[in-house]
């Protein structure tokens, strides 16, 4: 039975990658350790964004100590770096605290020399007055918060690359995934930016292909016919660089190359940057391979007979919609979930969540016939990735129990 594997952030925690919520705290610590980031207002911008998000969430009754999801934080920082270009900008009055974010005021260069020269002139004080106006504006004028948030985005990406770097010795627990189809090739879809699966495949002597090096800018996604692992990295990868080049028709087109050397050496610009995306807006942007990968995800699902989900929080609408299409195309489907907190998503506070919808489908009950008629065969493991995968190696996916709700 062909199994498609879907990995979320929880699948990489055992490799030393921080979970989504703790990632924000660790990035803040890295930024704060740099005096230059403090001086340029980058740390101020980071703390403002985190504080505002916590305040907004807690105002609606949510727990303020749960931490900030790194994807939501990145998405917020990206929007603040271009806030005047957003569609809602004409209708928004930005916070005065936001407008105060930026590098400290600087006296215009050569101000004292130019002022002295202007005062020595005999024909009035017009030039001196203009210089003083420039000084007052420089010291008291509105700071360029957009530029500061753009710099914050860059520094966060540099810190992210460092935090998700894993070593080959840390990914051995992922080896059972490579045998999930009984020795046949395997399709793995990951929402993570790290290279855990690539390293695991390399250690096992298996060819792993992400399809990114042959992507030609279109909606098609081509795979290496000799690949044992087809790895679809829906949110990008820490070693991808998204660039532009002149196409055959004379207009620019995007392409992705594999980064060589530290990301700090790469010059971020309007025509290039790391090949990763955050938030709903980023994942549907026309530029880059991300729409093509969503289409490839649908193609992989069409050939899957069952899906194994590890460490995914079900908070990506694009992924959830694709899963829903697959689940509804041939009910009842078999879905296997490895998540310590999944089975607890039954309270009123979780109503409307995707997890709650899955649990309801698995617990469907025909009251007229007084019998259970599940619309989904849902298997749930409350273990973390490492112990769950160790059990798979011994007993297979059948080690994950079928979720059944006992009714009176």
Q: Express each pLDDT in 235-261 by its tens digit.
A: 999 888 888 888 788 888 778 888 766
Among 169-178, 255-264, 383-392, name the one with the lowest average pLDDT: 255-264
Strand, coil or helix: 228: coil
- Dihedral sign computed on CA atoms, order 215, 220, 225, 226: positive
- Residue 342: name the closest of 309, 375, 303 by CA: 309
Answer for the pair 277, 200: CB distance below 8 angstroms, yes or no. Answer: no
Residue whose tokens read 């992210």: 160
Which residues does residue 377 pair with via DSSP β-bridges, in sequence order?
A: 334
Distance CA 213, CA 67 (A): 36
Give this prediction's pTM.
Answer: 0.84
Strand, coil or helix: 117: helix
Distance CA 13, CA 23 (A): 11
97: pLDDT strictly greater than 60: yes
Average pLDDT over residues 140-168: 85
Cα separations (Å) of 2 from 41, 179, 302, 327?
52, 11, 11, 15
Answer for the pair 346, 321: CB distance below 8 angstroms, yes or no. Answer: no
Residues 241, 247, 253, 259, Cα dihedral to 10° = 0
Confidence band of 223 (pLDDT split at 50, 70, 90): very high
Distance CA 24, CA 405 (A): 36
Among 46-55, 325-334, 335-344, name the one with the lowest average pLDDT: 335-344
pLDDT on residue 408 = 45
295: pLDDT strictly greater than 90: yes
Average pLDDT over residues 386-404: 89
Average pLDDT over residues 132-151: 71
Cis peptide before 332 (omega within 30 of 0): yes
Residue 230 structure tokens: 């087809």
Among 30-44, 285-299, 341-355, name the one with the lowest average pLDDT: 341-355
Residue 25 structure tokens: 């705290």
pLDDT in tens, 184-209: 999 999 999 999 999 999 999 999 99
Residue 175 structure tokens: 């080896």
Confidence band of 180 (pLDDT split at 50, 70, 90): very high
pLDDT above 70 as % of the chain: 80
Confidence band of 379 (pLDDT split at 50, 70, 90): very high
pLDDT on residue 219 = 84
pLDDT on residue 342 = 82
Average pLDDT over residues 128-140: 63
Residue 303 structure tokens: 């050939």
Confidence band of 385 (pLDDT split at 50, 70, 90): very high
Average pLDDT over residues 178-186: 94
Average pLDDT over residues 148-173: 92
Confidence band of 278 (pLDDT split at 50, 70, 90): confident
Distance CA 315, CA 1 (A): 27
Which H/E stretch holds residue 338?
Answer: strand 333-338
Distance CA 34, CA 320 (A): 39
- Residue 392: name the closest of 180, 169, 171 by CA: 180
Confidence band of 140 (pLDDT split at 50, 70, 90): low
pLDDT above 90 as % of the chain: 48
152: pLDDT strictly greater than 50: yes
Answer for the pair 20, 120: CB distance below 8 angstroms, yes or no. Answer: no
Q: What are phi and psi of 187, to 5 degrees?
A: -105, 125
pLDDT on residue 55 = 93
Confidence band of 372 (pLDDT split at 50, 70, 90): low
- Strand spans (E) along 185-315: 186-190, 208-209, 229-233, 236-246, 252-258, 273-276, 306-310
Confidence band of 60 (pLDDT split at 50, 70, 90): confident
Mean pLDDT rounded to a whole number for the chain? 85
């Amino acid at each position: 039975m062909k199994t498609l594997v879907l990995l979320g952030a929880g699948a990489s925690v055992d490799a030393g990658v921080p979970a989504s919520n703790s990632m924000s705290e660790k990035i803040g610590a890295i930024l704060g350790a740099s005096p230059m980031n403090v001086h340029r207002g980058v740390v101020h911008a980071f703390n403002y964004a985190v504080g505002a998000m916590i305040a907004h969430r807690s105002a609606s009754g949510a727990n303020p100590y749960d931490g900030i999801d790194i994807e939501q934080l990145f998405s917020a920082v990206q929007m603040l770096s271009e806030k005047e270009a957003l569609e809602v900008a004409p209708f928004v009055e930005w916070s005065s605290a936001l407008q105060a974010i930026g590098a400290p005021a600087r006296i215009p260069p050569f101000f004292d020399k130019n002022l002295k020269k202007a005062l020595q002139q005999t024909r009035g004080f017009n030039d001196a007055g203009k210089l003083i106006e420039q000084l007052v504006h420089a010291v008291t004028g509105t700071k360029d918060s957009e530029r500061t948030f753009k710099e914050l985005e860059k520094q966060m990406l540099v810190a992210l690359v460092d935090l998700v770097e894993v070593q080959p010795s840390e990914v051995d627990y992922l080896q059972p995934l490579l045998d999930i189809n009984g020795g046949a090739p395997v399709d793995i879809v990951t929402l993570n930016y790290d290279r855990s699966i690539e390293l695991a495949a390399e250690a096992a002597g298996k060819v792993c292909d992400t399809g990114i090096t042959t992507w030609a800018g279109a909606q098609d996604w081509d795979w290496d016919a000799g690949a044992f692992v087809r790895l679809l990295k829906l949110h990008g990868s820490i070693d991808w660089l998204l660039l532009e080049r002149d196409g055959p028709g004379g207009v620019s087109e995007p392409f992705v190359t594999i980064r060589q050397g530290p990301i700090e050496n790469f010059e971020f610009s309007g025509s290039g940057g790391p090949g990763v995306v955050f938030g709903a807006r980023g994942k549907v942007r026309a530029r880059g391979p991300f729409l093509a990968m969503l289409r490839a995800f649908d193609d992989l699902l069409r050939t899957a007979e069952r899906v194994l989900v590890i460490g995914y929080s079900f908070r990506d609408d694009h992924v959830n919609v694709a899963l829903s299409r697959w689940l509804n195309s041939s009910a009842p489907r078999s879905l296997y979930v490895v998540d310590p907190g999944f089975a607890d998503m039954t309270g009123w506070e979780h109503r409307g969540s995707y997890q709650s919808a899955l649990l309801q489908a698995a617990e469907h009950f025909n009251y007229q016939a007084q019998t259970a008629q599940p619309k989904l065969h849902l298997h749930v493991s409350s273990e973390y990735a490492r112990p769950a995968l160790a059990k798979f190696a011994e007993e297979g996916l059948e080690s994950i129990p079928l979720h059944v709700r006992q009714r009176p």
